[in-house]
Structure 1
Amino acid sequence: MLARQRQAIILEEAQRTGAVRVSDLVERLGVSDMTVRRDLDVLASRGLVEKVYGGATTITGRSTDEPGFEAKSVRQREQKEAIAELAASLVKPGTAIGISAGTTTWTFARALDGIPDLTIVTNSVRVADILHDSGQTDRTVVLTGGVRTPSDALVGPVAVQSLRSLHLDLVFLGVHGMAEGPGFTTPNLTESETDRALVEAGRKLVVLADHTKWGTVGISTIADLADAGVVVSDTGLPEDARKVLSENAGELLIADPERRAEADE
């Protein structure tokens, strides 16, 4: 198979699913790992895909673009894991917390293992599955109803009504983008309404957002920067963003993926 034929197949698959993994392409195309990576380099140089850890995702940029869960799950994986561990240190036993949908919050949910006696409210099917699969019998998980979005969030009037009757200690919010003017945003209008209801249910808002979210603006604002009691990001966050967040949000916490990786060795 010629290189351009392989690249056409890779691009078609990326556009169909939102993301491709090197290991899957090696098996499908019957070529080496290095050959696939060279093909991804070519596609990335032409602006057709964005290389990420272990594969590539499609390029998006419009305020209404919303990649699916699988596409987002391979982006900034190490940063998300470091953010999740740092955010989990804010959770005390016996508290009631809310967790929004998204790959960062899904990673955060996995980091809650071992924290006893939690009541967790979420509008994410993926997050609920992770929490149930943990097997902790001292944990109560409440999953809102609603209509399912590309990011596996349950949204709409049913979800909003469920959240408006609840009172939570902390709400952990994943966002599509954050910027000085628009604040924390999402590309999904219906999801923003549900997220706002979740934010209003909590006494304190904790936003989980890796550095690539800075400067990205979705069509709808969930909350202003000043509404966040804590923002947890990573060491890739630029200095100007740190200054803005430190001046507006209650507290900025920076997770270090490299330090976490060293601790795992």
Structure 2
Amino acid sequence: MSENQNLLAEQRRTLILDEVRRRGGVRVNELTRKLGVSDMTVRRDLDALARQGVLEKVHGGAVPVVEASTHEPGFEAKSGLELTAKEDIARAAAELVAPGTAIALSGGTTTYALAHHLLDVPDLTVVTNSVRVADVFHSSQRALGRRQGAATVVLTGGVRTPSDSLVGPVADQAIAALHFDMLFLGVHGISAEAGLSTPNLAEAETNRRLVQSARRVVVIADHTKWGTVGLSSFATLEQVDTLVTDSGLPGEARAEIAEHLDRLVVAGEPEDRETPGEAPGTAEESG
């Protein structure tokens, strides 16, 4: 990390968290030198990250939090993490959506960010098991009135999880009866060995139904999800058509992903990794 007095708090904290995870721990004096900021600024950043539950403060520094595979952070805890990456991913993913298509959005903070970028795409049918995602569309329609071409939103029923997703038999039955052109799937973890995974068993089953009902599966996940494994796997990488991630994904991970997926889109970079013959940023065709 190079010295930069003008780094925003969010950028500093992202760099700090990446350094903690990469090295297994850092000291305050190391971070002050690398970031070019004061001891007090680093300690405030560590306090903020510790409150979010993503690292643990120790005497003189910080270490990663070792989470159980069953640990499921709440929506609010996750919403403050990797904000720039999620926004870049959401913007890139929105370019894949063609007007007039039927799409599904799973629960999660990245799909929540994507929903905001889909408000102006006309004539969408949006199926979601996320209360938060549905609220994005409903709030827009309440504020602006239902305009011609506004999205039709189908919210499944079910039992609410800590991340404000609706899961369980009611959600599963509703999803199984539907067919959508494209699924945008947020994940707790993704790896070559475990595929896509979540700490919530009921959510895993609902996500399986979403994958089964979709013609194309697009995973939207920031780089911190790579290598994370939850309690229950619900899809293999071979079941994913496209992964949209951010530029923080290491080169070795990109190479490994490319062995399993047809298409890798790295948001925020000049050129995306594409399958042969596919132009960057073009909308997926449906029908």
Work out whether the TM-score is over 0.5.
Answer: yes
Partner of 2:97: 91
Partner of 2:241: 229
Partner of 1:128: 134
Partner of 1:205: 217
Q: What TM-score does the superposition give when structure 1 sets the normalisation length?
A: 0.77
1:236–1:36 CA distance, 2 compared to 1 (3 A): closer
Supply the distance in 2 between the matched residues of 1:168 and 1:41 (Cα, whole angstroms). 43
Partner of 1:254: 266
Point out the structure with the larger helix share: 1
Q: What TM-score does the superposition give when structure 2 sets the normalisation length?
A: 0.71
Alignment partner for residue 73 of structure 2, among 61, 67, 71?
67
Supply the distance in 2 between the matched residues of 1:126 and 1:204 (Cα, whole angstroms). 23
Alignment partner for residue 86 of structure 2, among 70, 76, 80?
80
1:199 shift after superposition: 1.0
Superposed CA deviations along residues 184-224 of structure 1, whole A, max 9, x for unmatched, are 11111110000110111110000001000010000111210
1:134–1:253 CA distance, 2 compared to 1 (3 A): same
Alignment partner for residue 187 of structure 1, among 171, 180, 199?
199
Provide the identity percentage: 52
1:247 shift after superposition: 1.3
Alignment partner for residue 107 of structure 1, among 106, 113, 116?
113
Q: Structure 1 stretches of 5 or more lacking a match?
A: 1-33, 52-57, 260-265
Q: Secondary structure at the match of 2:182?
A: strand
Report the residue type matching 1:223 in the other structure: A
Superposed CA deviations along residues 155-186 of structure 1, whole A, max 9, x for unmatched, are 00000000000010000000001111100111
1:113 shift after superposition: 2.0
Alignment partner for residue 46 of structure 2, among 34, 41, 45?
41
Asked whether the 8 Å contact 2:119–2:151 carries over to 1, the reply is no
1:111–1:226 CA distance, 2 compared to 1 (3 A): same
Q: Structure 2 stretches of 5 or more lacking a match?
A: 1-38, 57-63, 272-287
Q: Secondary structure at the match of 2:43?
A: helix
Supply the distance in 1 between the matched residues of 2:227 and 2:265 (Cα, whole angstroms). 18
Superposed CA deviations along residues 27-56 of structure 1, whole A, max 9, x for unmatched, are xxxxxxx968624536879xx7539xxxxx
1:152–1:60 CA distance, 2 compared to 1 (3 A): farther
Q: Secondary structure at the match of 1:248?
A: coil
Partner of 2:179: 167
Question: How well do the aligned residues superpose, as a CA RMSD in angstroms?
Answer: 2.6
Partner of 1:150: 162
Q: Secondary structure at the match of 2:259?
A: helix
1:139–1:241 CA distance, 2 compared to 1 (3 A): same
Supply the distance in 1 between the matched residues of 2:49 and 2:220 (Cα, whole angstroms). 27
1:59 shift after superposition: 3.4
Superposed CA deviations along residues 200-257 of structure 1, whole A, max 9, x for unmatched, are 1110000001000010000111210111110000110011111111110120000018
1:257–1:187 CA distance, 2 compared to 1 (3 A): farther
Query: Number of residue pairs matched?
Result: 220
Partner of 2:22: none
1:212–1:93 CA distance, 2 compared to 1 (3 A): same
Partner of 2:280: none
